[in-house]
């Protein structure tokens, strides 16, 4: 895969109008987009289907978690939408149900390990007994055993996760910040080049592109940096 197939631009904006403007501005430079809660609840699901029909790849970031039957039913309908990637929390039963529901399709299921906005104190407050690194590796192994297409983790854990999941599974990393960018609410971040070198297969970048004065220039700069690392 080249950089264009690996860069996922997060459409983390509040309205369809803003999302449409970003996609129009970026044009053919960007192939892959992430659509999450913010845009989904503003009509983003139909927009996601439209983009997929136009030849774009869509990473639907829903972080599903529910009883097995509900997860499976949701995945079955998402397969019909033509999405390329879908996230669910990396709980073994949920992952198993999702894998069975997506069997035979091209949908890449991603297990979310530990959110990149969380550090050890956040996990302790949430009642977990593991530090972020340990929990990420545990969930990566469970995702592999469940037959998932990949995992979502911080680029800081990419190298260790790659050793567990092998060369074929996707490792999708948010919290990507070009040198000099603000971290925002992310706590475990890395530059695009360093993330790829560490073992990430796909990079999710939102604010450094969508909030840039010139999103197209920002996207091209990140793609160029990624190419140097490939």
**So what's the pLDDT on residue 187?**
52
Beta bridge partners of 111: 88, 151
Q: Please give the residue that has the higher pLDDT: either 24 or 115.
A: 24
Record the tokens describing residue 181, joined without a space: 């960018």
**Catalytic pick from 57, 61, 96, 187?**
61
For the cut 80, the answer to whether the pLDDT of residue 147 exceeds it is yes
Instruction: Report whether 169 contacts 177 (CB < 8 A).
Output: no
- For residue 230, name the pLDDT band (cuts at 50, 70, 90): confident
131 is catalytic: no
185 is catalytic: no
**Is there a binding annotation on residue 12?**
yes
User: What's the average model confidence in pLDDT over 55-81?
Assistant: 97
- For residue 31, name the pLDDT band (cuts at 50, 70, 90): very high
**Is there a binding annotation on residue 70?**
yes
63 is catalytic: yes
Which of 57, 26, 60 minimizes the C-alpha distance to 40?
60
For the cut 70, the answer to whether the pLDDT of residue 65 exceeds it is yes
Q: Measured in whole angstroms, how far is the alpha carbon of residue 133 from the centre of its chain?
A: 18
**Is there a binding annotation on residue 168?**
no
- Report all structural domains of the chain as residue ranges with CATH numbers, in order of start: 3-229 (3.20.20.70)
**Is there a binding annotation on residue 160?**
no
**Is there a binding annotation on residue 116?**
yes
Instruction: Report whether 206 contacts 7 (CB < 8 A).
Output: no
User: What's the average model confidence in pLDDT over 105-109?
Assistant: 97
**Is there a binding annotation on residue 66?**
yes
**Catalytic pick from 56, 63, 197, 216?**
63
**Catalytic pick from 21, 29, 66, 197?**
66
């Amino acid at each position: 895969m080249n950089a264009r197939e690996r860069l996922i631009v997060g459409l983390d904006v509040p309205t369809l109008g803003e999302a449409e403007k970003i996609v129009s501005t970026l044009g053919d430079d960007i192939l892959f987009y992430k659509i999450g809660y913010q845009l989904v609840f503003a009509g983003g699901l139909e927009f996601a289907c439209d983009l997929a029909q136009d030849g774009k790849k869509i990473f639907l970031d829903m972080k599903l978690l529910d009883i097995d039957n509900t997860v499976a039913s949701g995945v079955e309908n998402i397969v019909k939408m033509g999405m390329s990637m879908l996230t669910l929390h990396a709980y073994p039963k949920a992952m198993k149900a999702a894998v069975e529901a997506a069997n035979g399709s091209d949908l890449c299921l991603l297990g979310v390990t530990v959110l990149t906005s969380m550090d050890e104190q956040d996990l302790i407050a949430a009642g977990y007994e593991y530090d972020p690194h340990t929990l990420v590796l545990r969930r990566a192994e469970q995702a592999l055993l469940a037959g998932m297409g990949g995992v979502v983790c911080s680029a800081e854990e990419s190298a260790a996760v790659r050793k567990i999941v092998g060369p074929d599974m996707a490792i999708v990393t948010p919290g990507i910040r070009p040198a000099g960018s603000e971290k925002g609410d992310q706590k475990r971040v890395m530059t695009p080049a360093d993330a790829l070198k560490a073992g990430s297969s796909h990079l999710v970048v939102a604010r450094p592109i969508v909030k840039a004065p010139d999103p197209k220039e920002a996207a091209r700069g990140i793609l160029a940096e990624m190419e140097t690392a490939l």
